[in-house]
Amino acid sequence: MPEVTAYAESKGVDVMLWVIWHTLEKQWNEAFDLFEKWGIKGIKVDFMNRDDQMMVQFYEAVAQKAAEKKMVVDFHGAYKPCGLRRKYPNVLTREGLIEFEYNGWTNQDDPVHHNLLPYIRMFPGPMDYIPATMRNSTKENFRPIGDYPMGQGTRAHAMALFVILNSPMTMLPDSPSDYYHEKECTDFLTKIPVEWDETRLLKGKIAEYTVLARRSGNEWFIGAITNWDERSLDLETSFLEPGKYRLEAIEDGINAGKRAEDYRKIETQFQAGDVLKLKLASGGGWVARITPVR
């Protein structure tokens, strides 16, 4: 591990460890002291899967101990948020939802579910959903595959989730080779922040569709998703400051309803107040980066 952390530091990368909660509990002080010695900056604690009194106390103990060691925390296999990160801001995010990995054994993580999360689960706090898979599927073609799960919905839908679903620390679900292979999409994802100055729900209906805008500095990012229904939406841009803007977007390709990986990248310019026309395929989406033209 010292070799790994030293190499990561030379590349400007911090290292987090994925740990099993019971193993951590049994070696409490020794584990945290060793992590600190190695230069670990955070831990992802997993497999708790309960919310009894003892486990609630364990969460707070982890948050406090990690804060003392100047480490961040992600609770996976977690119960729903309860305000812990207000007291311990080093707790960045937690699971507490049906998320991408469920595609390995069930069809519950579908575009209908995606259009429930912003209105229900996201209210109490960030969620470790693991968005932006490059393995995309239509409703008809989806199959749960444990060791190689696919996501339900189009490529543009999957990428829009990276904007819509809030988490200050976000993991990608696929193998690195999948993202190397999809360079255009990966390059777009690297431009999306994970911390925001402003958030606006532009339009939406629970379980049906969502259009959410987030601002970081002078840049806006917008994600739009639909359930399994095809949908055309008019996107008002009057929320922007007056002026001219550059738009870079990933949208559903012409064949996305049959081949979910099909997408189209567009670049254009528009004036604040213009209406943008969005056409979403079944399980489709649209994601955009908007920057002012100087």
237-255 tens-digit pLDDT: 999 999 999 999 999 999 9
pLDDT for residue 294 is more than 90: no
- Rounded average pLDDT over 60-75: 98
Give the predicted TM-score (pTM) of the model.
0.96
Domains of the chain: 1-96 (3.20.20.70), 98-294 (3.20.20.70)
52-62 tens-digit pLDDT: 999 999 999 99
138-193 tens-digit pLDDT: 999 999 999 999 999 999 999 999 999 999 999 999 999 999 999 999 999 999 99
Radius of gyration for the chain, computed over Cα atoms and rounded to the nearest angstrom: 20
Q: How far is Cα 175 from Cα 270, in angstroms, rounded to an integer?
A: 36
7-38 tens-digit pLDDT: 999 999 999 999 999 999 999 999 999 999 99
Q: How far is Cα 111 from Cα 2, in angstroms, rounded to an integer?
A: 42
- Contacts (Cβ under 8 Å, ≥6 apart) of 276: 234, 235, 237, 247, 270
Q: What is the mean pLDDT of the chain?
A: 98
| pLDDT score, position 27 | 96
Q: Which of 46, 178, 230, 274 is catalytic?
A: 46
Q: How far is Cα 127 from Cα 263, in angstroms, rounded to an integer?
A: 26
Active site residue 46: yes
pLDDT-derived band at 63, boundaries 50, 70, 90: very high
pLDDT-derived band at 196, boundaries 50, 70, 90: very high
Q: Which of 25, 36, 51, 101 is catalytic?
A: 101
pLDDT for residue 120 is more than 90: yes
pLDDT for residue 127 is more than 90: yes
